[in-house]
Amino acid sequence: MSVDATEIPMEEQLARLRRYAEILSDFGRMAAESSEADRVAQLACVQAARGIGVRHSKVLRYRPEAADLLIIAGVGWKPGVVGHVSLGTDLASPPGQALRTRLPNVIGDVSRNPEFRYSALLREHGIISVLNVPVAVDGDVWGVLEVDSEIPRYFGPDDTQFLQALGNTLGLALRGRIGIKEVVDAAADTARLLAQERMLRVELQHRSKNDLQLIMALLVMQRRRLPDAEARRIFGHVLERVGAIGVAHDQLNLDSGTGQIEIADYLQALCGNLSQRREGVLIETSLEPVEMPHARAVPLGLIVNELVTNALKHAFPEGRSGTIRVEFATLSGGEAQLCVRDDGAGMGPPRAGSSGTELVRGLVKQIGGRMVQAEQAQGTGFCVLFPLVT
């Protein structure tokens, strides 16, 4: 049973606050003395677990190229986790929601909370309660700092503020240790006016990303207030689509000055994010690298998001495993083809209240394309053919 903060004696609460202050001071000093980013992240994990009083903690770094969160440091995890295991960045992922909304995320019992996915990693380690805070570097959310408890745990405002302060300090420490080479090269190779122009483009992208995070946060809060389960489900679909647009912003190539998106990188990142949502279903890709304008790439990403999400939810019933394949290739005559196929149970009758098919048709029309159902021996496949505009 979790313990409410009002039940903790005042002396114990004061002692905890003093411990938090000491730990933050210790971490600030040690972070200043360390020259390696991974070492600083590991120190943050140690101090977070020590301060909150749990056995497990981790730092997850956001990877735009895969649209996932890679565990780069941690305490209490089995061998093979740190440096290898990644988690999703969608809103059903506890650290993913902290990343996308830029807000702390407190879950008393993740195994019973329908809003969140109980990942295999947490199940394997018996984790019940989690607390996540975003870690920002230079105004961007770089990753997430998380503490995990094997027993039901009340993470109160003091715990959240402590972990957020630790995450902020970690972000400041990382600021001086990452991206230095890129800044030096840009200063050496770029004239003053071009450098200023690039800085303005990056600032615009940061603001757009922050706006999307604000929209996600508002939608999440609104969904929690809805009493009707069907309304919450519909809100969840909207959140997934906004998340797909957020992945496109992460892939914008501002260095070219044209705002192009490498479609193979974008769809690969989107599929990497989607692959975290269903255990036992593999998402394979075969993607030809082509740069496209943002206005063309985003509808393609939303089409993939809808078709893959639909396959994940309905093509593999009763825990059945299988494969979803996403393919993109250019054709002769200035056309391109995008296909999403699965080897699942096949397409059933249209579901009442489903807006996915209507949305896909609208997106296909938006890019001047046509959609056909692919012929295959098993499962379902759809292909979209459209004029290639690069």
Which residue, 152, 178, 204, sits at the end of a domain? Answer: 178
Provide the CA 223 distance to its chain's centre, in angstroms.
Answer: 19
DSSP string of 171-218, one letter each residue: HHHHHTTSSHHHHHHHHHHS-HHHHHHHHHHHHHHHHHHHHHHHHHHH
For 291, list phi and psi in degrees, rounded to 5: -85, 135
> What pLDDT is stored for residue 51 in this prediction?
92
Residues 270 and 135 in one domain: no
For 195, list phi and psi in degrees, rounded to 5: -65, -40
Residues 166 and 249 in one domain: no
Residues 131 and 224 in one domain: no
Closest to 111 (Cα-Cα) out of 122, 98, 100:
122
Verdict on whether the full-model pTM lies above 0.85: no
Which residue, 119, 146, 178, sits at the end of a domain? Answer: 178
User: pLDDT tens digits for 202-221?
Assistant: 554 555 556 566 667 767 78
Residues 164 and 243 in one domain: no
CATH of the domain at 129: 3.30.450.40
Residues 209 and 350 in one domain: yes
376: its two tokens: 């295959």
Domains in the chain, number: 2
> What pLDDT is stored for residue 2 in this prediction?
45
Residues 352 and 299 in one domain: yes
Which residue, 178, 202, 220, sits at the end of a domain? Answer: 178
Q: Which residues contact 165 (CB under 8 A, 6 or more apart)?
A: 20, 24
Residues 211 and 64 in one domain: no
Q: Which residues contact 278 (CB under 8 A, 6 or more apart)?
A: 312, 316
Closest to 198 (Cα-Cα) out of 206, 86, 87, 46:
206
CATH of the domain at 369: 3.30.565.10
> What pLDDT is stored for residue 250 in this prediction?
64
User: What residues make up the domain containing 233?
Assistant: 181-387
Residue-wise pLDDT tens for the chain (390 aa)? Answer: 444 444 566 777 777 788 888 888 888 888 777 768 888 999 999 999 999 999 999 999 999 888 899 999 999 999 999 999 999 999 999 999 999 999 999 999 999 999 999 999 999 999 999 999 999 988 888 999 999 999 999 898 889 999 999 999 999 888 866 554 454 454 455 445 444 445 544 554 555 556 566 667 767 787 788 788 877 777 776 777 677 666 655 655 444 445 678 889 888 988 888 888 888 899 999 999 998 887 888 888 889 888 988 888 888 887 789 999 999 999 988 899 999 999 988 765 545 445 567 888 888 998 899 999 888 888 999 999 999 875
Residues 114 and 32 in one domain: yes
DSSP string of 334-380, one letter each residue: SEEEEEEEE-SS---SPPTT--HHHHHHHHHHHTT-EEEEPP-SSS-
Residues 134 and 112 in one domain: yes
Residues 189 and 251 in one domain: yes
Q: Residue 273, class by beta-carbon neighbours within 10 Å (0-12 exposed, 13-18 middle, 19+ buried)?
A: buried
Residues 313 and 354 in one domain: yes
Residues 135 and 264 in one domain: no
Cα–Cα distance list, 75 to 32, 81, 131, 152, 222 (Å): 21, 10, 15, 19, 35
> What pLDDT is stored for residue 113 in this prediction?
95
